[in-house]
């Protein structure tokens, strides 16, 4: 039976069942169960169908959230899926790992006083139902086009662009230096947030749709960018950002001081059943160790929660600002605290102390001073405030910068911004090289999956225009649609 909408006045917000911290501390399984049909309808029916839907306005994809909530409340799930998939190439991923508390749910009109609609969980429910019912189909172009597209990077930006371009009929080739498709969805984000099978399922669909994946191929090493430009009518660079930010701090070179991505990749590979000697040797395994993670973003949250699951003796997170001013999702902090992580706010490392390997982190207290140009208060050291933390594994999660792509690709004309990311013409999304486009983290800097998908979709549209215009100008070219 269809549920009447605007139920927020009488029905409270409810999340799907969450596994208890004592249980989930010991495995890498996702922490939330799924809604059942009744609960999904009930929760979707809380929506007030706002005339100005702030949830949609604050979604980078402009997802038509009120409509798919209404369709879910009415039990019209196949249509709800169609609406959700119309603007999003991976709703099953966004439903799980978007920071909804900062985006749609955080801006939901009923949040004040009644708590938001559980948009992400309903999105996950709709999409998982669609997969189970066979409603999710591989991209099927109405006709094949002769032109081919090369995409460097099989993360969310590259995959979203690949699907959009394949739907138009292009011959799409995706190159990635990893052995699996998904980018950070596979090797960065842990299983307890996003099960790897969810990404593998998408990969399978895209392959069935005729997209060609060339894995273990590093552009700039195995194949040059120049060669790629000869092979394809247009290129998309969606390589993400992987250069770990470093900290100048005495003792940084000690053993057991590791970079976050190195640590998370080892853990994810282990979970996937790969041979990981650095994990097996104990170097990248937190079991039986006192762990200190430095940083306050999503990556730091994933490190602390991974260390808990590996059986660390203690896990502390050191962050130089306070809870309110951290970049990571508040929801993740809450989960981490439940799982036993201790947050040391307003503190920064001064030195790492040890004899060959690290034994202690010497830290000092900080306070938040006046705001800088961006409006963020600048953390300042409090004099004579140092203290020591026991540590036999220190994980540095200070963020990422772009690799030097012009050097890596042997393309000195590839223009960069002052942050080292790729410079694009905002309207066309083309880089300084003709026919070479860029999207995702390599343009924005470290960001979010939902923005990578948005950029991938926008870039696909621009690439289509470019190739079609070229085909129209060339006398014997096969016309694009
Ligand atoms: C630990 C961690 C946790 C995160 N958690 C969240 C979260 O909870 N929610 C969220 O929304 N976002 C999260 N993010 C951010 C999100 O993962 C990224 O914003 C998103 O993946 C960027 O997508 P992308 O396609 O631009 O790049 P990526 O996902 O990084 O993919 C880039 C791909 O390009 C490939 N590549 C790079 N160079 C080459 C080359 N030369 N040749 C061939 N292939 C190459 C890489 O192997 C990779 O597969 C997290 C990030 C990290 C690091
Ligand atoms: S803002 Fe909240 S109540 Fe309003 S349409 Fe969106 S989900 Fe529904």
pLDDT at 87: 98
Taking Cα atoms as reference points, which of 307, 363, 296, 318 lies closest to residue 340?
Answer: 307
Segment 68-96 shows an average pLDDT of 97
pLDDT at 328: 84
Tokens of 437: 């486009």
Which atom of ligand 2 lies nearest, measured to the CA of 66?
A: 5
Tokens of 344: 């040391």
Ligand nearest the Cα of residue 45 is: 2
Ligand nearest the Cα of residue 150 is: 1
How does DSSP classify residue 81? Answer: H
How far is Cα of residue 32 from the mean position of the Cα atoms in its chain? 18
Ligand nearest the Cα of residue 175 is: 1
CA dihedral 172, 176, 181, 186 (to 10 degrees): -150
pLDDT tens sequence across 214-233:
999 999 999 999 999 999 99
Q: Is the pLDDT of residue 3 over 70?
A: no
Taking Cα atoms as reference points, which of 239, 240, 230, 241 lies closest to residue 433?
Answer: 230
**Residue where the block lists tokens 């706002």:** 50
Cβ of residue 65 lying under 6 Å from some atom of ligand 2: yes
Cβ of residue 117 lying under 6 Å from some atom of ligand 2: yes
CA of 183 to the centre of ligand 1 (A): 5
pLDDT at 373: 79
Residue 354, helix vs strand vs coil: strand
pLDDT at 465: 98
Cβ of residue 48 lying under 6 Å from some atom of ligand 2: yes
CA of 99 to the centre of ligand 2 (A): 16
Q: Is the pLDDT of residue 284 over 60?
A: yes
pLDDT at 479: 47
CA of 277 to the centre of ligand 2 (A): 49
pLDDT at 330: 86
Cβ of residue 50 lying under 6 Å from some atom of ligand 2: yes
Tokens of 441: 């983290």
Sort strands 347-355 and 357-371 into parallel, antiparallel or unpaired: antiparallel
Instruction: Please say whether the beta carbons of 278 and 270 come within 8 A.
Output: no
Q: How far apart are the C-alpha atoms of 16 and 14, rounded to whole Å?
A: 7
CA of 77 to the centre of ligand 1 (A): 31
Segment 331-346 shows an average pLDDT of 95
Phi, psi of 255 (to 5 degrees): -65, 155
Segment 4-28 shows an average pLDDT of 87
Segment 85-106 shows an average pLDDT of 95
| CA distance to 108, 220, 363, 381, 387, per residue, from 384 (Å) | 45, 49, 11, 9, 9
Which residues surround ligand 1 with Cβ inside 6 Å? 97-98, 152-158, 175-178, 183-184, 188-189, 193, 218-220, 238-240, 264, 298-299, 302, 440-441, 447-450, 452
pLDDT at 1: 59
Tokens of 128: 């998982």
Cβ of residue 120 lying under 6 Å from some atom of ligand 2: no
Cβ of residue 408 lying under 6 Å from some atom of ligand 2: no
Q: How far apart are the C-alpha atoms of 479 and 481, rounded to whole Å?
A: 6
Segment 17-38 shows an average pLDDT of 92
Q: Which residue has the higher pLDDT, 391 or 109?
A: 391
**Residue where the block lists tokens 């036993």:** 340
Segment 303-316 shows an average pLDDT of 98
pLDDT at 108: 93
Q: Which residue has the higher pLDDT, 6 or 59?
A: 59
Instruction: Please say whether the beta carbons of 68 and 130 come within 8 A.
Output: no
Longest CA pairwise span in the chain (Å): 76
Tokens of 248: 């100048």
Segment 126-131 shows an average pLDDT of 97
Q: How far apart are the C-alpha atoms of 219 and 216, rounded to whole Å?
A: 10
pLDDT at 376: 83
Residue nearest to atom 19 of ligand 1 (CA): 448
pLDDT at 111: 80
Residue nearest to atom 39 of ligand 1 (CA): 239
Q: Is the pLDDT of residue 244 over 90?
A: yes
| pLDDT band at residue 475 under the 50/70/90 scheme | low
Q: Is the dihedral of CA 395, 398, 400, 401 positive or negative?
A: negative
Q: Is the pLDDT of residue 327 over 90?
A: no
Q: How far apart are the C-alpha atoms of 388 and 414, rounded to whole Å?
A: 46
The pTM assigned to this predicted structure is: 0.95
Segment 422-435 shows an average pLDDT of 98
pLDDT at 476: 58
Q: How far apart are the C-alpha atoms of 460 and 162, rounded to whole Å?
A: 8
Segment 346-358 shows an average pLDDT of 96
Ligand nearest the Cα of residue 332 is: 1
pLDDT tens sequence across 362-390:
999 999 988 887 788 888 999 999 999 99
Region of poorest pLDDT, from 24-28, 114-118, 273-277, 290-294: 114-118
Sort strands 377-381 and 357-371 into parallel, antiparallel or unpaired: antiparallel
**Residue where the block lists tokens 């120049």:** 226
Q: Is the pLDDT of residue 480 over 50?
A: no
pLDDT at 481: 46
Q: How far apart are the C-alpha atoms of 159 and 239, rounded to whole Å?
A: 11
Q: Is the pLDDT of residue 6 over 80?
A: no
Which atom of ligand 2 lies nearest, measured to the CA of 48?
A: 3
Q: How far apart are the C-alpha atoms of 308 and 21, rounded to whole Å?
A: 11
| pLDDT band at residue 477 under the 50/70/90 scheme | very low
CA dihedral 112, 117, 118, 123 (to 10 degrees): -140
Segment 169-183 shows an average pLDDT of 98
pLDDT at 291: 98
pLDDT tens sequence across 134-149:
999 999 999 999 999 9
pLDDT at 260: 97
Ligand nearest the Cα of residue 116 is: 2
**Residue where the block lists tokens 């702030």:** 54
The CB-side HSE value for 259 (13 A sphere, CA atoms) comes to 12
């Amino acid at each position: 039976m269809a549920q009447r909408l605007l139920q927020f006045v009488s029905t409270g917000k409810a999340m799907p069942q969450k596994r208890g911290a004592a249980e989930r501390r010991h495995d890498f399984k996702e922490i939330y169960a799924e809604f059942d049909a009744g609960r999904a309808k009930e929760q979707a029916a809380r929506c007030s169908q706002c005339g100005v839907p702030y949830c949609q306005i604050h979604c980078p994809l402009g997802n038509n959230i009120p409509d798919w909530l209404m369709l879910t409340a009415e039990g019209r799930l196949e249509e709800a899926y169609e609406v959700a998939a119309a603007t999003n190439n991976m709703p099953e991923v966004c439903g799980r790992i978007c920071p909804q508390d900062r985006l749609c749910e955080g801006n939901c009109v009923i949040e004040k006083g009644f708590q938001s609609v559980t948009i992400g969980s309903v999105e996950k429910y709709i999409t998982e139902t669609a997969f189970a019912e066979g409603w999710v189909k591989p991209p099927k172009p109405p006709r094949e086009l002769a032109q081919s597209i090369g995409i460097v990077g099989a993360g969310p930006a590259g995959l979203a662009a690949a699907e959009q371009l394949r739907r138009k009929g292009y011959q799409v080739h995706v190159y990635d230096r990893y052995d699996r498709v998904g980018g950070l969805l596979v090797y960065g984000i842990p299983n307890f947030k996003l099960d790897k099978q969810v990404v593998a399922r998408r990969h399978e669909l895209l392959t069935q749709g005729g997209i060609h994946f060339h894995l273990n191929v590093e552009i700039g090493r195995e194949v040059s960018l120049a060669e790629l430009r000869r092979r394809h009518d247009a290129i998309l660079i969606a390589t993400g950002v992987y250069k770990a930010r470093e900290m100048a701090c005495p003792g940084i070179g000690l053993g057991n001081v590791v970079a976050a991505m190195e640590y998370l990749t080892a853990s994810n590979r282990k979970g996937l059943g790969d041979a990981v000697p650095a994990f097996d040797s104990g170097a990248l395994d937190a079991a039986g160790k006192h762990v200190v993670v430095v940083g306050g973003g999503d990556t730091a949250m994933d490190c602390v929660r991974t260390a808990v699951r590996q059986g660390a003796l203690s896990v502390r997170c050191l962050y130089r600002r306070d809870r309110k001013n951290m970049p990571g999702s508040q929801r993740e902090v809450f989960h981490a605290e439940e799982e036993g992580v201790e947050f040391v706010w307003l503190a920064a490392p001064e030195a790492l102390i040890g004899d060959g390997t690290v034994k202690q982190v010497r830290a000092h207290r900080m306070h938040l001073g006046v705001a800088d140009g961006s409006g963020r208060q600048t953390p300042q050291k409090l004099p004579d405030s140092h203290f020591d933390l026991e540590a036999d594994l220190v994980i540095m999660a200070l963020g990422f910068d772009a690799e030097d792509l012009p050097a890596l690709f042997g393309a000195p004309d590839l223009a960069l911004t002052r942050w080292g990311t790729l410079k694009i013409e905002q309207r066309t999304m083309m880089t300084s090289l003709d026919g070479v486009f860029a999207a995702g983290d390599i343009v924005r800097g470290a960001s979010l999956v939902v923005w990578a998908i948005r950029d991938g979709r926008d870039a696909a549209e621009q690439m289509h225009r470019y190739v079609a215009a070229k085909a129209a100008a060339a006398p014997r070219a096969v016309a694009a649609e």
